[in-house]
Each structure stands twice: as structure tokens, then as C-alpha cells.
A = this chain, B = another copy of it.
């Protein structure tokens, strides 16, 4: 019997990607699609790439319209998920692709998001130690941010194995879809093509405390994170370049061994052979993660680099992966590790 899934916020990039993946999921039947300002419009005009759903009309995002489904994906503005989830009741699997239930520290939440803290839900990054168990059977999932997904998967094996100091200097390049579909002048094609530019420099990006939280948990001590996101001239993809000072005694071999161990059985994380490096094109549209790590002996530092598709593994793919675990389905159901390249 099919799992009936509704998507709230179906006209944006996260909702569209969720639908793209759910359409290919063999156990899923797509139910209600809702929107806010776009309610009443056909999906064919809003998401012209989702041909099989072209004739569907968006309903308004109300608890009534979302009722009667096994799973509800939320792609809502920050601060709105708690109220919707409460109305849906405890038996519906609610998967929040927003930030509302990611951060355990209420002060962090309020400083970075400016609204009351809603609590935490099981964290949908199954590759982190302990995360899978918390997701099994859960009726609530907090999907990680796209940057924290890329950064945590690049760095956690080094921190978990105590190969590096409790620090991380991170520069990540993201495709523009990470900034959403609301039109703003600096996101115009004319502005972004041919340009690289940073933003949220100096600790200001909202994903910073989520990275600190993830890395500190595996390290067992507070990890200091200096994170600089940059906007790259491409629609999709994150390349996260992460750097941390190595502790004494670290070698290229010990670093590689830690990563090989961490990712030996992970279906979506691919530790590249030595000498090859992640490329966002290789994971375009797929749920795969490419990871590589190097030890710079001259500088005494470990460099860990990951590539993901920010909309797939970084948002909707991670959400479907977590849904599979929560529902007791095989974790890879309906998800691909094959990128669309070139």
C-alpha cells in the first residue's frame, strides 16, 4: 500500500525537488500540494520540469488541506512549522525542511533566527553517529541545512577520531538555488553569472551554529567554526572546503584510515580514491556525497572537502532518505547516486 505524501510549499525550490524525488519513489503516492501566494495556480506553470504533475493545482497551506496523509513535507518560511505540525497530530510523519527544529540551543536559535525556539526533532543526517537510530520510527524529522550537511560529512570523521584540534575553517561555494526562488536583485542571472562573492562573513550565517552543534557532538568538546559561504555561478551544488589544524602524530595514512572506516558502509557517501577530488557536477541531481581528505604536512593541517547537490542530499534527498528510515523502508529507496553530468 502506497505511502501518501503531501508537500507544503510546493512552488519553491525545496518543495519542487522533494516532488521530483517523490515522483521517482516506488512506495509513494503524491497527495496534496499546497502553496501560499501561488495557491490556485497549476504546477505546470510553477515547476515546468515536473511534467507528470503539470495539471495539479496548488491548494492553500492549511491543516485541513494537509490532513489525511501518511507523510507531510514542510517547505515553509522559518517559524511556521511548529504550528502546522501540531495540527497534523502525532501520528503523521512530519518532515521539516526548514530550520525550526534543528538547533538544541535556544539562545543560538533566537540570535540567528529571531523567533521563539520551537525545540528539536530527530536530526535527518543519518550518517552522523547515533542519528540513524533516532530517526527509526520517528514521526518528526528536522532536515539539516544544506551547508551543515556538506560540512558535517566532510569533517566529522576527523573530529570524531580526534585527528584535529577542535576548530574548523570552512569556505563553501553554493549554487544559487540555495538562496531560494524569491526574486532579489543580487540573485539575477545578470549579477551571478561570471561572479563569485561571499556573504554572511565573520560568523553571521545561520548555518554556523548548526555546524558547531554537529561537530561538537562528535568531538565531545566545543568545536570553534569560522564559516564563509560564497555564491557561485551555478544553479546547484555545494563544494565545502574544510580545514583544521592536525594534532600531533597525525599522518596522511591515519587520516585516510579514519575516513575509510567512517564511510565504509554508507550508501550515499563516496570517499574518492586518492588523487581525485570532489566536483559538484558529479553529484548533480543525485543524493550522493563525494568526499576527499588530505594532510598538508608542511602546514600541519587536514583539508577535507565534500561535494553535494544542495537541493538533493542537501535538502530534499536527505529528507527522503530520512523518511525511508522513519518508515522502515530500505534507506536508499527511490534515491539515486548517479549524477547528471556533464
Residues of chain A whose beta carbon lies under 8 Å from any beta carbon of chain B:
13, 16, 20, 23-24, 44-45, 47-52, 54, 167, 169, 171, 173, 175-177, 179, 181, 183-185, 187-199, 201-203, 224-226, 228, 230, 232-237, 239, 241, 243, 270, 273, 276-286, 288, 290, 292, 294-301, 303, 305, 307, 336-342
Report the Cα distance A185→B179, complex, angstroms.
Answer: 12
Given the known interface contacts A183-B187, A197-B277, A276-B45, the answer about A288 and B51 at a Cβ–Cβ threshold of 8 Å is yes
A301, B44: Cα distance in complex, Å: 28
| Contact among B13, B47, B179, B189 for A193, CB-based, below 8 A | B189
Residues of B within 8 A of A270 (CB): 51, 54
Q: A284's contact among B49, B177, B230, B288, by CB below 8 Å, is which?
A: B49
Residues of B within 8 A of A187 (CB): 183, 188-190
Look across to chain B and name the residue whose beta carbon is closest to the beta carbon of A201. Answer: B294
Q: How far is the CA of A52 from the CA of B199 in the complex (A)?
A: 24
Q: Which 9 A-B pairs have the closest CB atoms?
A: A49-B339, A202-B294, A195-B281, A189-B192, A171-B171, A183-B183, A197-B279, A49-B341, A226-B299
| C-alpha spacing A224/B245, complex, angstroms | 11
- Name the CB-closest residue of B to A299: B226
A280 to B23, CA, bound (A): 20
Copies of this protein in the assembly total 4
The distance in angstroms between the C-alpha atoms of A279 and B230, with both chains bound, is 10
Mind listing 22 A-B residue pairs with CB under 8 Å? A48-B282, A49-B339, A49-B341, A175-B190, A177-B342, A179-B190, A181-B190, A183-B185, A183-B187, A187-B190, A190-B235, A193-B233, A193-B234, A195-B279, A196-B234, A196-B279, A197-B277, A201-B294, A224-B300, A226-B243, A232-B232, A285-B340
Kindly provide the distance from the CB of A41 to the nearest chain B CB, expressed in whole angstroms. Answer: 12
